[in-house]
Amino acid sequence: MELIPTEIEGLLIVEPRVFGDERGFFLESWNRRTFAQLGLDLDFVQDNHSRSARGVLRGLHYQQPNPQGKLVRVVAGRAWDVAVDLRAGSPTYGRWAGVELSAENKRMFWVPPGFAHGFVSLEDGTDFLYKCTASYDPANEHSLMWNDPAVGIEWPLEGIEPQLSAKDKVGKPLHEVEAFV
């Protein structure tokens, strides 16, 4: 397994070892010991699975208090996954990093606590899996505006009209977000 740093400290692309032959493939998506040896000693408490049609944009979500770290991957279809740094005092506060996750590339993305997270589905039937370090807490869930010009995320939306939930349509701009301490 290889950890690939992004331009934002703490956000990591995880490249699993894939063993394949004419029968298919095998990969280890989570192994506590392996991740700890790589410097990520994580305790996951909840797994989530979502399916999205092409153009569904989910996010940018964060919990405060009770922030979640998320190890995310796509097992069917393709998604553009994004995290925005909301950590107070971070030299990259308000900056974003993104990665394409797909069933084909089998990559994962580690989004530590202190980030807003979201994705857009690039294909119908995109299945997205999340391992979370804290339980979902709807009373403390918030949304950062997905298209805030102050953040400037470059969503790959050519020919796609994003479909948003009601709560994501009213996400807050970055200047109204309370930073993580």
For 85-128, the pLDDT digits (tens) are: 999 999 999 999 999 999 999 999 999 999 999 999 999 999 99
Confidence of residue 181 (pLDDT cuts 50, 70, 90): confident
Q: Is 1 exposed, middle or buried (0-12, 13-18, 19+ CB in 10 A)?
A: middle
- Domains (ranges, CATH) in the chain? 2-176 (2.60.120.10)
Exactly one of 62, 93, 117, 130 is catalytic; name it. 130
The mean pLDDT value of the chain amounts to 96
User: pTM of the predicted model, to two decimals?
Assistant: 0.95
Establish whether 61 is a catalytic residue: yes
For 32-83, the pLDDT digits (tens) are: 999 999 999 999 999 999 999 999 999 999 999 999 999 999 999 999 999 9
Exactly one of 49, 61, 136, 175 is catalytic; name it. 61
Q: Are 55 and 121 in contact (CB under 8 A)?
A: yes
Q: What is the 3-state secondary structure (H, E, C) of 119-156?
A: EEECCCCEEEEEEECCCCCHHHEEEECCCCCCCCCCCC
